[in-house]
């Protein structure tokens, strides 16, 4: 431990990662949690997230909507890959069903 000044200079606030940063997403094993955050204007917002290796990964509502569609058309889908493109509110997500991921039955 150092002084407040030293700690403040190296401090980085905890950040929630994004589900698209995961290699694969197992639909039956990951538990979804409710979170709450604050934007840069001080407004509170709610979000969903999963925990993988003690890290939080945010799950945007549009991703849940895409997964719902996949499950409706292919109820046996167990694993997906989430791909994102863009930044902030302009981010676009694609959810890809994975048919035979390694190590998943």
Residue 54 belongs to a domain: yes
Residue 104 belongs to a domain: no
pLDDT of 89 > 90? The answer is: no
Residue 4 belongs to a domain: no
d(CA 21, CA 57): 8
d(CA 1, CA 56): 26
Residue 7 belongs to a domain: no
What range does the domain containing 41 cover?
12-98
pLDDT of 98 > 60? The answer is: yes
pLDDT of 105 > 80? The answer is: no
| This prediction's pTM | 0.78
Q: Residue 20 burial by CB count (10 A; 0-12/13-18/19+): exposed, middle or buried?
A: buried
Residue 1 belongs to a domain: no
Residue 5 belongs to a domain: no
Q: Which of 96, 81, 84 is nearest to 22 (CA)?
A: 81
Residue 6 belongs to a domain: no
**Mean pLDDT for all residues in the chain:** 90
The predicted structure's pLDDT at residue 103: 59
Residue 47 belongs to a domain: yes
**For the chain, how many structural domains are there in total?**
1
């Amino acid at each position: 431990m150092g002084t407040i000044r030293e700690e403040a200079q190296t401090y980085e606030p905890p950040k929630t990662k994004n589900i698209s940063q995961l290699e694969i997403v197992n639909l039956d094993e990951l538990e979804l949690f409710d979170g709450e955050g604050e934007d840069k204007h001080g407004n509170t917002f709610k979000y969903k997230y999963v925990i993988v290796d003690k890290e939080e990964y945010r799950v945007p509502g549009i991703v849940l909507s895409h997964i719902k569609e996949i499950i409706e058309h292919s109820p046996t889908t167990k694993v997906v890959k989430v791909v994102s493109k863009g930044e902030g509110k302009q981010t676009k997500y694609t959810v890809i069903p994975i048919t035979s991921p390694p190590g998943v039955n």
